[in-house]
Amino acid sequence: MNNEHIGEIIYSEKEIQKRIEEIAQLINKDYKFKEPILIGIFKGSIYFLSDLSRELEIQHNIDFLSIGRFKSTEGTKEKIKITKDLDLSIKNRDVIVVEDIIRTGLTHSYIVKYLEPKRPNSINLCVFLNSKVQRLVELPIKYSGFEIDNKFVIGYGLDYEEKYRNLPYIANFRQ
């Protein structure tokens, strides 16, 4: 593998697995008498979701949503749309949206606006990485893996041009 873009490791595989165990324990407690649906957002969340799911002791379902970003015809403004829809119904269900990283929060607020009209009982957010510096919309984060700064990172699901998702750690991206 050509590893030219892999910078310093920010969170190691061991640190990640330990943090996921901690988050799973919180979810086990909070959803003890419930059966939530974990909704992973493609593609960045797949490793986080599969590790988290295997640490959960409560019954839960898994589903996925895929979001595409497009340049609008009027010009520079980016548009978001759903490119892969849910398979399961979330009506009256407890939803946990599982995401790779939240920066501006725009992607997440789009997802919540999409899910809310489907009348779930609750929607909570479980995000692997949180960068508050670039936040444009305030949103409540129920479960968060690690805080990071504004530097671009790769690994553990996060890509640079669709590469490096499979690194078992989070590393700085090197130009």
- The Cβ of residue 18 has, within 10 Å, a number of other Cβ atoms equal to 11
51 binds, among Mg ion, ligand IMP, none (CB under 5 to 8 A by kind): none
**DSSP-based three-state secondary structure for 48:** helix
Closest CA to 106 of 80, 125, 145: 80
Instruction: Find the shortest distance in angstroms from Cβ 59 to ligand IMP.
Output: 27
Range 115-174, binding Mg ion (CB under 5 A)? 159
Strand 78-84 to 37-42 pairing = unpaired
Instruction: Find the shortest distance in angstroms from Cβ 75 to Mg ion.
Output: 22
Instruction: Find the shortest distance in angstroms from Cβ 99 to ligand IMP.
Output: 6
93 binds, among ligand IMP, Mg ion, none (CB under 5 to 8 A by kind): none
104 binds, among Mg ion, ligand IMP, none (CB under 5 to 8 A by kind): ligand IMP
Distance of alpha carbon 10 from alpha carbon 18, whole angstroms: 15
